[in-house]
Amino acid sequence: MKNINLKHFIWISLSLLAIWSCAEEDGREPFSKNLTPPGQISEYSVENLPGRAKITYSLPSDKDLLYIKAQYTLGNGRKMEVKSSYFNNSLVVEGFADTLSHEIKLYSVNRSEVASEPVSVMIKPLEAPLWEVYRSLEVNTAFGGIRINALNPFREDIAILVMEKNEYGDWEIDPNSVYTSTDSIDYAIRGMDTTMHEFAFTIRDRWLNYTDTVFQDISPLFEMPLPKANYRGFPLPGDAPGHPSTSHAGMWDGNIIDWPSIYMTQAVHQGPHTITFDVGVLAKMSRIVIWDYPEYFNGRTYYYLHCLKEFEIYGTDNPNPNGSMDGWELLGRYNATKPSGLPHGQQTDEDFRVANEGFSWEFDINAPKVRYLRIRSTRNWGGSTNMAISEIQVYGDPR
């Protein structure tokens, strides 16, 4: 009986202790309240920046100061609030799309969530980054669609919204619009017919600010995917030897990610690495989509080691059997870039998504019809020249 009571006593004590601990950690209600407002910030200065401003200040001496709070309203009517810990003596207010003067109210807040009277600070932000994107925006016809180019030097999170009219004549946003933070935007929307399309484009930032709208009529160029069933390896003298576990067929087996369903050249081969293959049909080739092989590093990592970085693609309808470049037409020189700009071995979700969707490399529109393609790697992401390609898809007009 004593043992049972002792167990009950221990159980109840532990339960009460757990309840008390949870209440303490919950933090929703402090044990004591200081209803006296803290002092205000003082000696503030403003550094106006593109679309934002940094406000530096002296903190009040109150011992229970918790944070400084800024409240303001954007030009689009959106109300904003920014908090900065008492460990800092500055905060950044952002989201402005104009260069007008804006009032920022700064409050000191103590641990009882009691705020001081506000200090009013006037800022005048510099031109917002989305306007640089807007001015640099270029939209051109492309094979099977349109190509969008723009500069985003501040790497802001922006959306280039692409709109077409629906059956009721209302503008509707294309779900394949551009959402990115890369500094050099180069994006294509495909799958369109060759009829004239009426487009509208506007730039939006993450605070729902919008630029003016650009209207443009574009007729996409004809292309079709050239059937992979016709592709075959066509090794020539001088081509880099392949890794023994891989084959040319791994580049058109439909598997874009798994080893050994790829083609990799041997790293021991010196100089630029070249591979040659037959597309199986003579065509005015428009582009090639290449899926690089993601290495098993931090999960799966693109822009790494053997992935193509700087390379060239050539085409011909009559390859010289001695492997020379005589008669080969240069279709394009390419330099792969990582959207985030992060160092080698690091990638963001956007980096992974872009590479996993395949890189689309366009060919010279003035090039003649060809049947055979040759990829020449001059530098990979690891600094050498061998290449690892998971999959390819060639597009063009075989008519």
pLDDT in tens, 53-87: 999 999 999 999 999 999 999 999 999 999 999 99
Q: What are phi and psi of 8, to 5 degrees?
A: -65, -40
Residue 393 confidence class, pLDDT cut points 50, 70, 90: very high
Among 287, 309, 291, CA closest to 362: 287
Q: Is 134 helix (H, G, I), strand (E, B) or coil?
A: helix
pLDDT in tens, 203-257: 999 999 999 999 999 999 999 999 999 999 999 999 999 999 999 999 999 999 9
Angle, CA 20 vertex, CA 17 and CA 23 arms, to 5°: 150
- Indicate the class that CATH gives domain 129-218: mainly beta
Domain residue extents for the chain: 42-123, 129-218, 224-397
pLDDT in tens, 31-59: 468 999 999 999 999 999 999 999 999 99
Q: Decide if 56 contacts 83 (C-beta within 8 A).
A: no
Q: Decide if 296 contacts 358 (C-beta within 8 A).
A: no
Angle, CA 299 vertex, CA 298 and CA 302 arms, to 5°: 85
Q: How many CB atoms lie within 10 A of CB 329?
A: 18
Residue 23 confidence (pLDDT) = 42
| CATH code for the part of the protein at 224-397 | 2.60.120.260
Residue 180 confidence (pLDDT) = 94
pTM of the entire structure? 0.76
Strands 184-189 and 232-233: unpaired
Residue 216, class by beta-carbon neighbours within 10 Å (0-12 exposed, 13-18 middle, 19+ buried)?
A: middle
Place of tokens 């804006």: 102
The reply to whether 129-218 and 224-397 are identical in fold is no
CA–centroid distance for 321 within its chain: 43
Residue 2 and residue 108: Cα distance in Å, rounded? Answer: 57
Percent of the chain with pLDDT over 90: 91
First to last CA, the chain: 96
Q: Decide if 301 contacts 295 (C-beta within 8 A).
A: yes
Sign of CA dihedral 375, 334, 140, 183: positive
Residue 42 confidence (pLDDT) = 97
CATH superfamily of domain region 42-123:
Immunoglobulins (2.60.40.10)
